[in-house]
Structure 1
C-alpha cells in the first residue's frame, strides 16, 4: 500500500489545498493531510482545530483520506506511519524553488516528494489571501 502525506499549516484549508488532496487520493492508496506546525507562522487556530475543520470539509466518500495533527518534523511522521511519499502543491516559480530545496533534503532522508502543479484557476489563491478576504 502506498501511503502519501500532504503536510501544511492549512490556515485556512483553501480550494487549492482541496484540489491537491482530491488529485492525490487517486494516485495513492491512502493520503494523510498532515496539519503541521511551522515556527515561521502564527496560525489563527490551534493545530487540532485546523485538523478538525479539514475533517469536516472532506467528502465522506473520500475514504482513503485522513487528517492528522502533528507537532514534529514531517519526516518523523512519515517514518512512524509508513508514508513513502510527500505531496506538495506548487503555484509558481517561487513555490517551486522553496519546495525543491525541501524535497532535496527529504530525499536524503529517504522520502520522495511529488509536486502537484496548481490548476491555473487556483494559482493566485493562498491561505494568506483567503485570510485577508475574511478580514
Structure 2
C-alpha cells in the first residue's frame, strides 16, 4: 500500500531508506536531497559514515549534531546517526531496504553504479537522485576549500 505525500509522490508504506556520507560539511545540496527523499520514504536516516580513508574536519558526533541542527522540526521522519563499517551492514541491522545517493556528474554515476551493484549483491537497493542544477557545483570538497580560504583571509577590520 502506498500513501501520497504533500508533493504527490507515492510513498511505500513502512519504507526505511539510508542516505550515507561523510557530510563534511553538510551542504545545501545534501539538505535538498534529504528534503526530496523524505517524501519518498516513510523514514530516512542520514548516516554519517566514519571512513578511515578520509580526514574529516570534525568527529562524527560533532558533524551529526551540525546535520541535526539543519533539519526543520517538521521533518519528524528524518533521523541522523553515525556508523563505522559497511553501509549495507547498517541497513541490514536497521531493516532499511534502500540506500539513497545523490548524483552531481557523469563521473559520480560511474562510481555510484559500482557501489550499487555491490550493495544489490548484499540485498540492498540503491536509489539515485540527481542534484538540482543550481546545487550541483558545490561539493563538500569545494565547501571545505572555500571555508578554509575564508578563514585564512586577513580581516579588513584589523587595527594596525
TM over 0.5: yes
Q: Deviations over 1:86-113 (max 9, x none)?
A: 0000000111110110000000001000
Structure 2 counterpart of 1:26, from 11, 21, 39: 39
Residue 77 (structure 2) pairs with residue 67 (structure 1): no
Which structure ranks higher in relative contact order (CA pairs < 8 Å, sequence separation ≥ 6)? 1
Bigger fraction of residues in helix? 1
CA RMSD of aligned residues (A): 0.6
Larger Rg: 2
Report the equivalent of 2:111. Answer: 98
SS of aligned partner of 2:134: helix
The TM-score, its normalising length taken from structure 1, stands at 0.98
Bigger fraction of residues in strand? 2
Q: Deviations over 1:24-45 (max 9, x none)?
A: 0000000000000223210000
Structure 2 residues without counterparts, runs of 5 or longer: 1-13, 149-160
Q: Deviations over 1:39-79 (max 9, x none)?
A: 32100000111111101111010000000011121011101
Structure 2 counterpart of 1:15, from 2, 24, 28: 28
Report the equivalent of 2:136. Answer: 123
Structure 1 residues without counterparts, runs of 5 or longer: none
- Corresponding pairs, count: 135
Q: In 2, Cα distance between the equivalents of 1:64 and 1:15?
A: 19
The TM-score, its normalising length taken from structure 2, stands at 0.83
